[in-house]
Amino acid sequence: MTNRNVLFLKLVRWSGWPLLPVVLLFLLTGYIMDGRYGLSRLLDEKTALTLHRMLHLPLIILVLVHSVPAVYLALQRWGWIGPRDEGARDAEPRKT
Ligand code: HEM
């Protein structure tokens, strides 16, 4: 596995855990505002909106940090793209 792939796998695994509470809170505050399923009893609408708004940016960043490298690694696994050859830059040009 190349250094890049090791880094990408770490990014996928580390970002997965904060993503879990952030996505759950995002859904919860959304449903609280909506008043569905009686969840509006948990928190007033104004606080839910403030929290929901604050969660947008971390959610977008975490989704990108989690899924872009995950998709990249999956494409490599499926053979749709090749692994980056890390020695290529220093290697002699190939004589054909
Ligand atoms: C709300 C959305 C998501 C949440 C909360 C989430 C959460 C997690 C968590 C907690 C893990 C375990 C990390 C570990 O092993 O330490 C994980 C692994 C993984 N996730 Fe997600 N994930 C989400 C969306 C996605 C999406 C959209 C993709 C792909 C496009 C994805 C791809 C993966 C992959 C490939 C792994 C396994 C990495 C490995 O080989 O260990 N996830 N995710």
Q: Is 58 in the pocket of ligand 1 (CB under 6 A)?
A: no
Testing ligand 1's pocket by substitution, the residue of 12, 25, 72, 75 carrying the most ligand atoms inside 8 A of its CB is 12
- Cα(8) to ligand 1 centroid in Å equals 12
Position 84 pLDDT exceeds 90 = no
Confidence at 88, pLDDT banded by 50, 70, 90: low
Question: Which positions ≥6 away from 69 have C-beta within 8 Å?
Answer: 8, 9, 11, 12
- The one-letter amino acid code at 90 reads D
Q: What is the mean pLDDT of residues 36-46?
A: 92
pTM to 2 decimal places = 0.86
- The answer to whether 33 touches 49, Cβ cutoff 8 Å, is yes
Q: Tell me how far CA of residue 53 lies from CA of 26, 60, 66, 93, in angstroms.
A: 9, 12, 21, 53
Structure tokens at 25: 């809170």
Q: Is 79 left (phi over 0), alpha (psi -120 to 50) or beta?
A: left
